[in-house]
């Protein structure tokens, strides 16, 4: 697996807030940063990275192409701009942010352009986000020998995406979990609180450890240094089989989905 298991998410973080979060994270030991063209914070993140003194070879920076830039010409040009904003020679991973199944640009065009960006050295690896089983199969057919580094999807205790996860596991496709904390919902969950008490930890760390123990990468975000530090400690938490079973029982299916923009979301598995 090339994608680091633990990183910092920056969705909804802007201006000085994102600068402070990334700076704190790097000081605490985070080395993977996840952003996107649609987040509007690449330049701020690039500024902090440049000032951090962290050697480039220690960092793993991910960005995502927004649907407005899916045509071949726009994709390549926009990724060059993202690389420039991030003050890097190349990004480590570039994802197609949403499959946009009803969009004007075909998967053949935007995935082909993404592979071209990799060949040009704009990005070291490529992947996708919010792709279903059918769309992953299509992507593999289009890309041929060009590997998919990950599929970044919503996975948390209430939406466990089991069909997709089982398929990905069988096919050797790595998954990255976003919204692993269900936008803070895990903090008030009685089951997760009970497991946390047993381990002397927090519900957030329990949810992150649950995802990590299934082999997913996680990219939680926070604007508070103490929460960033606490999230990082989830890597040291070993949940029991009973803990994992109790969390598995929290599944609520599609009713728990948090990210589902009508204009770009697929027909979910």
CB 99 within 8 A of CB 128: yes
Of 39, 158, 178, 216, which one is the catalytic site residue? 39
Question: Is residue 110 flagged as an active site residue?
Answer: no
Grouping H, G, I as helix, E, B as strand and the rest as coil, residue 46 is: helix
Are 241 and 213 contacting, i.e. CB atoms less than 8 angstroms apart? no
Per the CB < 8 A criterion, the answer to whether 148 and 173 are in contact is yes
Torsion of CA 174, 180, 183, 185, to 10 degrees: 150
Rounded to whole angstroms, what are the CA distances from 178 to 51, 55, 117, 142, 197?
27, 26, 24, 25, 25
Distance CA 196, CA 175 (A): 25
Place of tokens 């926070």: 222
SS3 assignment, position 59: coil
Active site residues: 39
């Amino acid at each position: 697996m090339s994608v680091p298991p633990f990183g910092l998410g920056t969705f909804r973080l802007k201006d000085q807030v994102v600068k402070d979060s990334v700076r704190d994270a790097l000081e605490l030991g985070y080395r993977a940063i996840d952003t996107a063209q649609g987040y509007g914070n690449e330049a701020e993140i690039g500024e902090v990275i440049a000032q951090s003194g962290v050697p480039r070879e220690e960092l793993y920076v991910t960005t995502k192409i927004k649907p407005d830039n899916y045509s071949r010409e726009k994709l390549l040009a926009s990724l060059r701009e993202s690389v420039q904003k991030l003050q890097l020679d190349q990004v480590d991973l570039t994802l197609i942010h949403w499959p946009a199944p009803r969009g004007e640009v075909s998967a053949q065009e935007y995935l082909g352009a993404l592979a071209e960006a990799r060949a040009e050295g704009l990005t070291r690896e490529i992947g996708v986000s919010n792709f279903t089983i059918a769309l992953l199969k299509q992507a593999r057919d289009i890309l041929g020998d060009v590997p998919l580094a990950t599929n970044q999807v919503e996975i948390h205790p209430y939406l466990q995406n089991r069909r997709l996860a089982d398929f990905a596991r069988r096919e050797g496709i790595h998954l990255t979990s976003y919204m692993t904390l269900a936008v803070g919902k895990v903090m008030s969950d009685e089951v997760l609180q009970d497991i946390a008490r047993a381990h002397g930890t927090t519900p957030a760390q329990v949810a992150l450890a649950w995802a990590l123990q299934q082999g997913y990468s996680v990219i939680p975000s926070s604007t508070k240094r103490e929460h960033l530090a606490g999230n990082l400690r989830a890597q040291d938490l070993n949940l029991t089989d009973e803990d994992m079973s109790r969390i598995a029982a929290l599944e609520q299916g599609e009713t728990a989905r948090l990210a589902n923009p009508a204009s770009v979301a697929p027909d979910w598995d």
